[in-house]
Amino acid sequence: MIKKYKFGKPFETEAVVKEIPVEAGKPEIGEISAEEGFCLIYKMTDELVVYGLGEANRGINKRGYKYVSLCSDDFNHTEDKLSLYGAHNFILLSGESQVGLFFDYPAKLTFDIGYTRQDTLAVTCDDADLYLYVITGESALDVVKQFREIIGGSYIPPKYAFGFGQSRWGYMNAGDIDSVVEGYRGNNIPIDMVYMDIDYMVDYKDFTVNPERFPDFKSYVAGKKEQNIHLIPIIDAGVKIEDGYDIYEEGRDKGYFCKREDGSDFEACVWPGWTHFPDFLNKDAREWFGSKYKVLIDQGIDGFWNDMNEPAIFYSREGINALDECVKETAKTKLDAKPGKLEEHFNKLQNNHKDYERFYHNVNGEMVRHDKVHNIYGYNMTRAAGEAFKKIAPEKDILMFSRASYIGMHRYGGIWTGDNKSWWSHILLNLKMLPSLNMCGFLYCGADLGGFGDNATRDLLLRWLALGVFTPLMRNHAAIGTRDQEAYRFEGIEDFRHVIGVRYRLIPYLYNAYLKAAKENDMLFKPLAFVYPEDKHCKQVEDQLMLSDELMIAPVYTQNATGRYVYLPEEMMFVKFMQDGSLKKEILEKGHHYVDVALNEVPLFIRKGCRIPLAEVALSVPEIDESKTMMVGYEM
Ligand code: MIG
């Protein structure tokens, strides 16, 4: 059952697509005050597990910390971080009863889930203008399914997007991309996508392709497609201010950029230098920006990733003016002229919340200050693209995923979880986010395999790939300046060929499981307790997941480990994809086990009575021969 409550004057985020009548009075959940801002206080029993929050830090069970919904460009995902790129305000209180809460509120919102007081949940925000949805159901999954039904169906990517993709910030030109394709194809490692990061553009201008770096781009794209390689360019939110640049001039003339209070276009410095931010909350501007994807689609492109759409800001005009002032001030007296003060000031310019109070959106003629709707900016950038794709190429499925997001965006694209690091702990963080993301409708998602920042090692990449073989988005991505981490850069290439090959064997199964999950508003990845609610152990399992209806996954995420402990809630068949292409199968009884898993093996568990199809290894998605699948299962 779903009940919708209204506080004050909520902003219509369009996260929920189903019409639901507003209830009279207050919800019977905890204590709510809407006098000074909004605050919901709820006493948590010892047994209560709190799920949800989509892309968020820490555990599957979110208890014991604080999380702030505030789309943030932060490349250092340490345990103390409160905000990441997404804002997914859905939590599920799972105890004796199952209650889902969705706070539809597009500005900063804080979930204190036992941080201030261990037994107390406090959800707070500055303005008491929001919708609160209270969902009750028979089981945790039932609550999630009801929620998913009201937010609309999840985005379905093209099938090729289930292949493996290679990315790196630093591929400069066609030659760099050719050598990546050669590195994979030449070593018989399967691959379907190579990503184009910001350097393909002319001066980081959206929808341009540098003709010196990519002469005759259209035929280049076509040539790659003949090799079953899709090129996936990045699109950044900011539009470069430059006379003669059509996108800039059109946006300026039509008034489609975010404006300052005085009506002038807000200026922020990002990769292209000074930019304006398209007003994605303005329907006409959204339509206009979306139509620009056609420039690249016309050249054969059929996939994109949207970046910097929190929006990320290096500094604003106002910020840099304040720095000028600071320089002048410090120069006045010798005593104050310490570089430290300036440095401190300078560092505060990046992604400074003050800047979000400096620009406005035109929402149906009404000026709305950005900080009041901050969390739906990236969502609406991706929505601009998704809505445009239906017009530009209605017959095609186009790949789209975004960095910033809000619930509702799941209808238009997937997400990647941003700038993680080549850390073992981030393999586990990757795993923990998957079910939470699924609860919020995001099915097509994945992390930068191998880690974005810092230097990857061979063993880390192999272990991470062995998790990545199961995530819908399977992409290796790394930051400029880090160690090369394409699979063919390490010794023992055959191990990478094997692990990535396992993905291709699983694609017929995974693709169908995905479609089924999307159709039934189901989760692809579930916490164990969703499937075995009676089992007390399952509530505590934070490093294994159920995958669709047939599988359980338990990757190794510890360096130098030759295996791991795993908990089986029932008897299962342990299957290992061995390096020589064979399968090693063993029936394991319910309970705790230590399983050996070598670096070049991929483990999975098949539930009793279930079986899955396995294809033969192929070098690309279109080469998978679905008529040659074998069934592997633990039948009774
Ligand atoms: O300020 O385009 O998260 O994936 O490689 C960094 C360069 C901008 C951040 C993205 C990352 C991408 C990088 N971008």
| Domain total in the chain | 3
Average pLDDT of the chain is: 97
Half-sphere exposure for 564 (CA within 13 Å, toward CB): 21
Residue 334 has what pLDDT? 63
Question: Residues 131-142: pLDDT tens digits?
Answer: 999 999 999 999
Parallel/antiparallel/unpaired status of strands 164-166 and 474-476: parallel
The atom of ligand 1 lying closest to the CA of 477 is 4
Give the domain-ending residue among 116, 151, 186. 151
Residues 388 and 246 placed together within one structural domain of the fold: yes
The atom of ligand 1 lying closest to the CA of 234 is 2
The atom of ligand 1 lying closest to the CA of 419 is 3
Which CATH number is 288's domain given?
A: 3.20.20.80
Q: Which of 419, 421, 454, 482 has most ligand 1 atoms within 8 Å of CB, for mutation?
A: 419
Cβ pair 306, 385 in contact under 8 A: yes
The atom of ligand 1 lying closest to the CA of 198 is 2
Residue 494 lies in a domain: no
Interval between CA 576 and ligand 1 midpoint (Å) = 35
Interval between CA 115 and ligand 1 midpoint (Å) = 32
The atom of ligand 1 lying closest to the CA of 270 is 1
Interval between CA 604 and ligand 1 midpoint (Å) = 32
**H or E stretch including 586?**
strand 583-588
d(CA 63, CA 78): 17
Residues 94 and 217 placed together within one structural domain of the fold: no
Residue 439 lies in a domain: no
The atom of ligand 1 lying closest to the CA of 307 is 10
Note if the pTM is more than 0.85.
yes
Which CATH number is 65's domain given?
A: 2.60.40.1760
Residue 330 lies in a domain: no
Interval between CA 307 and ligand 1 midpoint (Å) = 7
Interval between CA 213 and ligand 1 midpoint (Å) = 20
Residue 289 domain boundaries: 153-161+199-314+350-416
Q: Which of 201, 234, 482 has most ligand 1 atoms within 8 Å of CB, for mutation?
A: 234
Interval between CA 457 and ligand 1 midpoint (Å) = 21
Residue 180 lies in a domain: no
Residues 8 and 77 placed together within one structural domain of the fold: yes
Residue 340 has what pLDDT? 77
For 187, phi then psi, to 5°, come to -105, 10
Interval between CA 478 and ligand 1 midpoint (Å) = 9
Interval between CA 130 and ligand 1 midpoint (Å) = 32
Residues 226 and 369 placed together within one structural domain of the fold: yes
Residue 455 lies in a domain: no
Residues 274 and 390 placed together within one structural domain of the fold: yes
- What does the DSSP assignment read for 276-326? E-B-TTSHHHHHHHHHTHHHHHTTT--EEEEESTTT--SEEHHHHHHHHHH
Residues 157 and 135 placed together within one structural domain of the fold: no
Interval between CA 345 and ligand 1 midpoint (Å) = 24
Q: Which of 307, 416, 420, 475 has most ligand 1 atoms within 8 Å of CB, for mutation?
A: 307
β-partners of residue 366 are 363
Q: Please give all residues whose beta carbon lies within 6 A of any atom in ligand 1, as ranges.
A: 169, 197-198, 234, 307-308, 403, 418-419, 477
Give every CB contact of residue 246 below 8 A, 6+ residues apart in sequence. Answer: none
The atom of ligand 1 lying closest to the CA of 271 is 1
Q: Which of 232, 235, 308 has most ligand 1 atoms within 8 Å of CB, for mutation?
A: 308
β-partners of residue 573 are 587, 606
Interval between CA 481 and ligand 1 midpoint (Å) = 12
Cβ pair 573, 590 in contact under 8 A: no
Residues 131 and 145 placed together within one structural domain of the fold: yes
Residues 207 and 127 placed together within one structural domain of the fold: no
Residue 176 lies in a domain: no
Q: Which of 55, 76, 169, 454 has most ligand 1 atoms within 8 Å of CB, for mutation?
A: 169
Whose CA is closest to atom 5 on ligand 1? 169
* Burial class, 166, CB count within 10 angstroms (exposed 0-12 / middle 13-18 / buried 19+): buried
Residue 337 has what pLDDT? 60
Residue 340 lies in a domain: no
Give the domain-ending residue among 416, 433, 457. 416
Interval between CA 275 and ligand 1 midpoint (Å) = 17
What SS3 string covers 337-384?
CCHHHHHHHHHCCCCCHHHHHCCEEEECCEEEEHHHCHHHHHHHHHHH
Residue 339 lies in a domain: no
Give the domain-ending residue among 360, 384, 416. 416
Q: Which of 71, 74, 197, 426 has most ligand 1 atoms within 8 Å of CB, for mutation?
A: 197
Residues 610 and 565 placed together within one structural domain of the fold: yes
Residues 157 and 122 placed together within one structural domain of the fold: no
d(CA 550, CA 634): 10
Residues 66 and 206 placed together within one structural domain of the fold: no
Interval between CA 300 and ligand 1 midpoint (Å) = 23
Residues 267 and 157 placed together within one structural domain of the fold: yes
DSSP state letter for 390: H
Which regions of the chain are under pLDDT 50? Answer: none
Cβ pair 472, 444 in contact under 8 A: yes
